Amino acid sequence: MSGEERPPRERMVYSAAQLVRSRGVAATGVRDVVAYANAPRGSFQHYFPGGKDQLVGEALAWSADFAARRVASYGRQAGEPSPSGLFAHMARQWREELTARRYERGCPIMATASELAGGDSPVNEPLRTAAARWERAVVEELVRMGVPAERAGGLATVMISALEGAIMLARVCRDVGRLDTVVSELAPVLDSYAG
Amino acid sequence: MSGEERPPRERMVYSAAQLVRSRGVAATGVRDVVAYANAPRGSFQHYFPGGKDQLVGEALAWSADFAARRVASYGRQAGEPSPSGLFAHMARQWREELTARRYERGCPIMATASELAGGDSPVNEPLRTAAARWERAVVEELVRMGVPAERAGGLATVMISALEGAIMLARVCRDVGRLDTVVSELAPVLDSYAG
DNA sequence: TACCCTTTATGACAGGCGTCATGGAAGGCG
DNA sequence: CGCCTTCCATGACGCCTGTCATAAAGGGTA
């Protein structure tokens, strides 16, 4: 998009994120990432002395940052913000992504978790951090719109859980309608935080 | 447990399911499966001429069957069945599984979806069939307890989505509390199918 | 006994993986 | 000029992957 393209290191992190969330961690080779990023091969071991684990970890951090920004963007463009509105905002972005890219890419956190969360990989901590960052962004956005703090945590967990599951079902069934279903079904609970 | 152990073929399918849902598809080698199942190595290519894809496909079918049976078991042991009761039933089983096995194993459908649902793998169809089988089992259980048919589909989608996402978060954060949170937050919506 | 079909055994193949070692360009700076 | 740090290039290493080829047991049946 922009005239000058980003430096190789950044391109590799971004590329790793995209490849991981579309085929998973194990199926994403470092050579693939380098080629996808149009980066010099020798640069990989220079910028990522920690190897593949470091690359995946940074890809997760990048993704979490991206997700957090998306969440925070809701407050600035919503007239009358509400929990269900925020949830619909998040789901809509995924709906567009899935249809535009034909269900090619899913959530990098889910992909990494499925493969690594069960063991004791070094990527485990970046993974937990990424999930926490995303969750915290949702909580902060909820609190900002008036949801009591002790209620926001639970709502955020439900929103992220349902969204992740719906993304998965949408990809498996090749049907973005799952996202709409979850949004409309969940709207009542999300907005009844007063009761 | 039982005196006579199951035939090698069945053991391999079962083992494949367990390994896939703990480390993912790509990280699960056929040699691993054979060793884990205590099966003769030469038997793999005899029973699964379709190779790894066939094995993973059958592992998914087995898992879906297992999940469907678990769902159906609720109706037989619940005094006053309700949607939220069914959901709590499903979540409780996962809670026990995750704590007993220390978050080692997740959902095989999620694991396979994360790696393969984006492309055009032969495993894609078994994957979709497995998800549909599980979803259908939930729908049937809901209808059996009096939920209108046109409402059951949406509820089942929400339940499965939220459960899958909560499983993921629980594994990432090593905290089964996420499951309890989702159960208690979702209870109101699930039981308000009359309105 | 001989035969045949099912099941198991074993070794090899080509290819990909992550990582490492080594060496060369590029450019600021004394 | 020389030096040194940053960045890139290239080839190789050992390991593991899924698959195949080939052959040998096992166990009924005629």
pLDDT in tens, B158-193: 999 999 999 999 999 999 999 999 999 999 999 986
Q: CA angle, corner B158, sides to A114 and B126, nearest 5?
A: 50
Distance of CA B53 to the CA centre of its chain: 18
Cβ-defined contact of B160 to A160 (cutoff 8 Å): no
In chain A, which among 66-125 make CB contacts under 8 A with chain B? 103-106, 109-111, 113-119
The answer to whether B152 and B143 are in contact (CB under 8 A) is yes
pLDDT at B13: 98
pLDDT in tens, B91-150: 999 999 999 999 999 999 999 999 999 999 999 999 999 999 999 999 999 999 999 999
- HEC string of B177-194 equals HHHHHHHHHHHHHHHCCC
Query: Nucleotides on strand D with an atom closer than 7 A to protein CB?
Result: 7-10, 16-21, 23
Measured between beta carbons, which residues in chain A are less than 8 angstroms from residue B115?
23-24, 26-27, 111, 114-115
If you average pLDDT over residues A5-31, what whole number do you get? 96
Cβ-defined contact of B172 to A105 (cutoff 8 Å): no
- In chain A, DSSP finds a helix count (H) and a strand count (E) of 9, 0
pLDDT at A99: 98
Distance of CA A59 to the CA centre of its chain: 11
Q: Which domains, and CATH codes, for chain A? A: 8-191 (1.10.357.10)
Distance of C1' in C7 from CA in B107, Å: 33
B88-91 long-range contacts, Cβ below 8 Å, gap at least 24? Answer: B88/B183, B88/B187, B90/B159, B90/B163, B91/B163, B91/B166, B91/B179, B91/B180, B91/B182, B91/B183
Give the closest nucleotide to A9 (alpha carbon vs C1').
Answer: D7
If you average pLDDT over residues B65-94, what whole number do you get? 95
Residue B195 has pLDDT above 50, yes or no: no
Distance of C1' in C8 from CA in B11, Å: 16
User: What residue of B is the nearest CA neighbor of A120?
Assistant: B104
pLDDT at A150: 94
Tokens of A76: 């600035």
Distance of C1' in C14 from CA in B128, Å: 33
DSSP state of B132: H
Give the closest nucleotide to B45 (alpha carbon vs C1').
Answer: D19
pLDDT in tens, A94-134: 999 999 999 999 999 999 999 999 999 999 999 999 999 99
Measured between beta carbons, which residues in chain B are less than 8 angstroms from residue A20?
none
Query: Nucleotides on strand C with an atom closer than 7 A to protein CB?
Result: 7-10, 16-21, 23
Q: Which of A120, A138, A161 to mutate to test the interface with B (most CBs of B within 10 A)?
A: A161
Tokens of B140: 């049937």
The answer to whether A185 and B156 are in contact (CB under 8 A) is no
Query: To the nearest whole percent, how much of chain B has pLDDT over 70?
Result: 96
Split at pLDDT 50, 70, 90, the class of A4 is: low
pLDDT in tens, A137-160: 999 999 999 999 999 999 999 999
Cβ-defined contact of B158 to A181 (cutoff 8 Å): yes
CA distances from B42 to A93, A101, B37, B48, B73 (A): 48, 41, 13, 11, 37
Query: To the nearest whole percent, how much of chain B has pLDDT over 90?
Result: 92
Query: To the nearest whole percent, how much of chain A has pLDDT over 70?
Result: 96
CA distances from B18 to A110, B60, B64, B105, B165 (A): 18, 10, 13, 7, 19
Lowest mean pLDDT among A13-22, A33-42, B74-83: B74-83
Tokens of B111: 């694991």
CA distances from A65 to A57, A108, A135, A136, B64 (A): 12, 12, 11, 11, 35
Chain pair A-B, CB pairs under 8 angstroms: 174
Cβ-defined contact of A23 to B117 (cutoff 8 Å): no
Q: Which residue is nearest to nucleotide D11 (CA to C1')?
A: A42
CA distance A91 to A148: 23
Cβ-defined contact of A161 to B157 (cutoff 8 Å): no
Tokens of B154: 């949406």
For residue B24, the distance in angstroms to the closest alpha carbon of chain A comes to 5
CA distance A110 to B113: 10
Tokens of B32: 């691993």
Split at pLDDT 50, 70, 90, the class of B4 is: low
pLDDT at B33: 98
User: What residue of A is the nearest CA neighbor of B120?
Assistant: A104
pLDDT at B91: 98
CA distance B182 to A115: 23
Split at pLDDT 50, 70, 90, the class of B90 is: very high
Measured between beta carbons, which residues in chain A are less than 8 angstroms from residue B127?
172
CA distance B52 to B19: 13
